[in-house]
Amino acid sequence: MKKFALVLSGCGVFDGSEIHETTLTMYSISKHDASYDIFAPDIEQHHVVNHLSGNEADDKRNVMVESARIARGAVKDLKELNAASYDALIFPGGFGVAKNLCTFAFDGPDCKVNPEVERVLKDMKNEGKPIGALCIAPVLFAKVFGNGVELTIGQDRGTAEAVETMGGVHKTTNHAEVVIDEKNKLFSTPCYMLDATIAQIGEGADNIVKAMLEYM
């Protein structure tokens, strides 16, 4: 049974992991007879957003603790992720990727990546194992690897230009399409970077998981 390491950035689209993308990725992994463990960094969120009003809340929360909401408590500290123990790595989207796992939401191409996130990305790539990213998460590929890596964030020109500034090669995509950088074993799909239905998110998550399994 192939095993994925799934990295979360909190709970909720505006300040953490996008819940639909995360859950449907988990479903797809399980549906295709693979398994997963969930990881998150044990750090404070950049901020907390009231998902009803969209306003910033006067509160502090921990990324790992919030990720445990989606993981039903079964979440591990990202520091424990050993690339040798997994066949693939995958990142759902959500603003938490761009706020907690890196600072892309605030600094654009000049962003910094959480050291543990950077470590696991490099470790998995050095092991020659597939790495997937949904929605905004592919910006991590551009920032950490650069050097012409191919990826998609859908069709947003501003984000695509930032990706290219960081050294990535952006491919414009529509719903559920997967860009595969075969040389680097990097996989990306746009999901909610496009105006999407939950069915389209499910199709995108399923397509990227299936594609990654073919490279394991």
Catalytically annotated residues: 135
In angstroms, what CA-CA distances link 44 with 26, 61, 147, 151?
24, 6, 31, 29
Left (φ > 0), alpha (ψ -120 to 50) or beta: where does 54 sit? left
Say what the alpha-carbon torsion angle 158, 41, 82, 184 is, to the nearest 10 degrees. Answer: 0
d(CA 79, CA 104): 22
d(CA 18, CA 68): 13
SS3 123: helix
Whole-angstrom distance between the N-terminal and C-terminal Cα of the chain?
11
Residues across the chain? 216
